[in-house]
Amino acid sequence: MKFDYYSEAQLLQVHEASLDLLKKVGISTSSKRFQTLLLDHGCIEKGKRILFTQDVIDKAMKTVPAVFNLHGRNDLHRLEIGSKKAYCQTLVGAPSVIDIESGERRDALLKDLEDITRLADALDNVDIISPLFPRDVPQEIILTVETATCLRNTSKPLSICVESSRELKFIKELLVAVAGSEKALREKPLATLPVSPVSPLEFGFGPAEALLDVVEAGLPLGVEPCPQMGATGPMSMNGLVAMHNAEILAGVIAAQLLKPGCPLTMSSRATFMDMRTGLALWAMPEMGMMSAGLNQLGRYYHIPVAPGGYCGSSKIADMQSGYEHLYNALMEALAGSDIIGSAGSLDNALVECFTMLVMDNEISSVVQRTIREFEVNEENLAIDVVAEVIANHDNFLGHKHTRKYLRSGELWIPTISQRQTFEQWAIKSQKVEDIAKEKAKNLVATHQPAPLGVEVEKEFTKIITAAKKALM
Amino acid sequence: MANEEILRKLSEGVLEGDEVQVKEWTEKAIAAGIEPLEVINDGLTKGIQGVGALFAAGTYFLPDLLLGAKAMDAGIKVLEPLMTGQKREFIGRVLMGTVQGDLHEIGKNIVIMMLKTAGFEVMDLGIDVPARKFIEQTRDFKPSIIGISALLTTTVGRQKEIIELLEEEGLRKKVKVMIGGAPINQNWADTIGADGYAEDASVAVDVAKRLLGLVG
């Protein structure tokens, strides 16, 4: 892409450190299946740890697809994960929202999930939708309900984070119901399923089993641990990157050993801790810098990456949120990002906010504009145009070259940023976040997603009933 | 060397978070015939109080607290076998754990360390702790406070389950329940009937003291 965080030599040093960790420290898991898979392929058991060997690493890393497609439930949305397009993905798992009317933080409800999913469906620069965590649905079947709610309220691709295999069967059934068949879902996956092991280098039982089951289900996997500098990872940024990379690679390797060629993303969440309060910070600049380094490693491996980036520590959609989200997302995009997550988030990815999602849509637009590929050629260098304008004592405004490039999208077109004259602005004197809030309200009130078919709805009802019966 | 000098070295060692120095000077203190309780009260505790003061003043950060607590522990380890019949005084007893299905512990561990620093006796049940285990240890350890941690939005419901079980077992009135974890807020604490919630580790100490009536 455009930006290297590490020099070539430094990148190799970090890469080697990650391999060292995999070989000397390894991972632990209480899942027998996960242990057996790794050991059968040549990993070594040492005490409670499983150590990787160079052979296993080489063998598994070879089969990771560099690119895979992610689909919406209609043909409007087809994303090429692996070609560094910086697709914008909404925040996963927020237990709270900022109420769009009162501006107060409160528990997230099912109605909020419906509304924010429809809002994300309406926003052109939001590409993938991940659900918040509604508190007013039975928690035993929460992921099943979330998946169904998202599918009803958007036709865009989804990302459903699973912490165990408990509800996986029903999530998959819902996706199959929409895709038409299991085969259709495999060919055109409608969702990625990130799994979150625990830092440092611990796969537990739930995450390990979920990882294997997602791969077996033929759905694209995300390997998404979330270490914090100085708490669950080293205080040095390079140390955290090396360890985080190692734990992600461990998941990548396990997935490839189970099913060579299975699609996946390295979904880093490189965070840090406030050393006074102990709060986990998803802020800047450290998160953006470390993610840029991790993205560069992903590029080196030819493995798609999906860090969180539309995030910061601010509690409201204000100027701080604006610069935090732009900093992290742009750093990541410049270093080569396939997906950038956490859009619409506030307060270290713990709160979802309608206004912020509209702001992030704007930021995503400029981020994606920034990394658009371009050529340098005779025509856009425009020497002849300059010469001609000067020779004719003319200006560029009336030149056909100007019109041509204007029409081809040379200028970024903002969706909410204010650029009119001072006088025009002064009529309403609105801040951009006020405009974002208005836009959010309008879209929530009016936007209708493409509906699901009657048959699919019937199928959904059956699946949810079955999930209740099995899990509650 | 004068006893005051030895005790001063001990409190300095804790303040610096220097385990080696604390262990060494604790041994010297014993050799000089200082009573274990005096070593704790006039050496180690003075040091950890200094750590707490520097933290409150904004000079020290969480790693300084942790290293101070570790250094103090190094001294306590030397003293404990010698303290038959003598009892350390604590300001309260706390049972802590992360709920079943949740493997996250860093937040819980910070709170434990800060509680210990503040003078609480703490039993740590670790991570992935079934509700039953909380009940059993409430009976055996007899804490005045139970602290229940959960990080995942999918596991916070377990906090409610534990409170309900305490109720069923007739233990609820005997203990105060505190909850914590990134997705937790006061509203959730109210919903499930927890006595206390703290948004970060130092507030947790204040809440614990308040629940036990130690501060106004």
B 159-198 residues with CB below 8 A of A?
182-183, 185, 187-188
A206: closest chain B residue by CA: B101
The string of pLDDT tens digits covering residues A337-387 is: 999 999 999 999 999 999 999 999 999 999 999 999 999 999 999 999 999
Residue from B69, B67, B81 nearest B27 by CA: B81
pLDDT, tens digit (0-9, with 9 covering 90-100), for A104-129: 999 999 999 999 999 999 999 999 99
How far apart are the two ends of chain B, measured CA to CA in Å?
A: 43
B33 shares contact with chain A (CB less than 8 Å):
no
A200 Cα distance to chain centroid = 21
Per-residue pLDDT of chain A (472 residues; tens, 9 = 90+): 579 999 999 999 999 999 999 999 999 999 999 999 999 999 999 999 999 999 999 999 999 999 999 999 988 899 999 999 999 999 999 999 999 999 999 999 999 999 999 999 999 999 999 999 999 999 899 999 999 999 999 999 999 999 899 999 999 999 999 999 999 999 999 999 999 999 999 999 999 999 999 999 999 999 999 999 999 999 999 999 999 999 999 999 999 999 999 999 999 999 999 999 889 999 999 999 999 999 999 999 999 999 999 999 999 999 999 999 999 999 999 999 999 999 999 999 999 999 999 999 999 999 999 999 999 999 999 999 999 999 999 999 999 999 999 999 999 999 999 999 999 999 999 999 999 999 999 999 999 999 999 999 999 999 999 999 999 9
8 Å CB contact between B52 and B118: yes
Contact A359, A325 (CB under 8 A): yes
Q: Distance of CA A68 to CAs A73, A220, A236, B42, B133, Å? A: 16, 9, 33, 66, 46
Question: Which residue has tokens 């750093």?
Answer: A331
From-to residues of CATH 3.20.20.480 in chain A: 62-370
A289-326 pLDDT, tens digit per residue, is: 999 999 999 999 999 999 999 999 999 999 999 999 99
Q: Which residues pair with B72 in a beta bridge?
A: none
Rounded distance between C-alpha atoms, residue B7 and residue B2, angstroms? 9
Give pTM, 2 decimals. Answer: 0.93
What chain B residue is nearest to A351 in terms of C-alpha separation? B183
* A95–B106 CB contact, under 8 Å: no
Look at residue A323 and give its three-state secondary structure.
Answer: helix
Q: What is the distance between the alpha carbons of residues A288 and A307, in angstroms, rounded to a whole number?
A: 9
Residue among A163, A202, A276 minimizing CB distance to B61: A276
Length of chain A: 472
Judged by a CB distance cut-off of 8 A, whether residue B103 touches chain A is yes
Say whether domain A62-370 belongs to CATH 3.40.50.150.
Answer: no
User: Within an 8 Å CB–CB cutoff, is residue B62 touching chain A?
Assistant: yes
| Minimal-distance CA residue of chain B relative to A30 | B103
In chain A, which residues have their Cβ closer than 8 Å to the Cβ of B117?
none
Pick the residue from chain B with its C-alpha nearest to A279.
Answer: B200
Three-state SS annotation for A43-69: CEEECCEEECCHHHHHHHHHCCCCCEE
Domains, chain B, with CATH or none: 3-82 (1.10.1240.10), 92-211 (3.40.50.280)
Token reading at A288: 């953006």
Interface residue ranges in chain A relative to chain B, Cβ cutoff 8 Å? 93-96, 105-107, 133, 139, 142-143, 163-164, 198, 202, 204, 206, 228, 230-232, 235, 273, 275-280, 348, 350
At A180 the pLDDT is: 96
Which tokens go with A100?
């769009």
Cβ distance A95 to B183 less than 8 Å, yes or no, reads yes
A69 beta partners: A80
Residues of A whose CB is below 8 A from B61: 275-276
Helix (H, G, I), strand (E, B) or coil at A107: strand
The predicted pLDDT at position A142 comes to 95
Q: What is the pLDDT along chain B (216 residues), one digit of tens a residue?
A: 789 999 999 999 999 999 999 999 999 999 999 999 999 989 999 999 999 899 989 999 999 999 999 999 999 999 988 987 777 889 999 999 999 988 888 889 999 988 988 889 999 999 999 999 999 999 999 999 999 999 888 888 899 999 999 999 999 999 999 999 988 889 899 999 999 999 888 899 999 999 999 986
Look at residue A1 in the predicted model and tell me its pLDDT. 54
Taking CB atoms and an 8 Å cutoff, what residues of chain A touch B188? 107
For A106, nearest residue in chain B (alpha carbons): B187
Between CA A72 and CA A96 the distance in angstroms is: 27
What residues of chain B lie within 8 A of the CB of A130, using their CB?
none
Mutation for testing the A interface, residue in B60, B99, B106, B109 having most A CBs under 10 Å: B106
- The CA distance from A279 to the nearest CA of chain B, in Å, is 7
Partners of residue B101 in chain A, C-beta under 8 Å: 163-164, 206
Whether A275 sits inside 8 A of B110 (CB atoms) is no
A278 to B154: CB separation less than 8 angstroms, yes or no: no
Q: How far away is chain A from the Cα of B27, in angstroms, using its nearest Cα?
A: 32
From the list B63, B103, B110, the residue facing A198 with the nearest CB is B103
User: Residue A422 burial by CB count (10 A; 0-12/13-18/19+): exposed, middle or buried?
Assistant: exposed
Check CB contact under 8 Å for B103 and A133. no
Chain B residues in contact with A350 by the CB 8 A cut-off are 182-183
Given CA atoms A173, A205, B113, B162 in this order, what sign does their dihedral have?
positive
Contacts of B104 in chain A (CB under 8 A): 198
The reply to whether B152 touches chain A by the CB within 8 Å rule is: yes
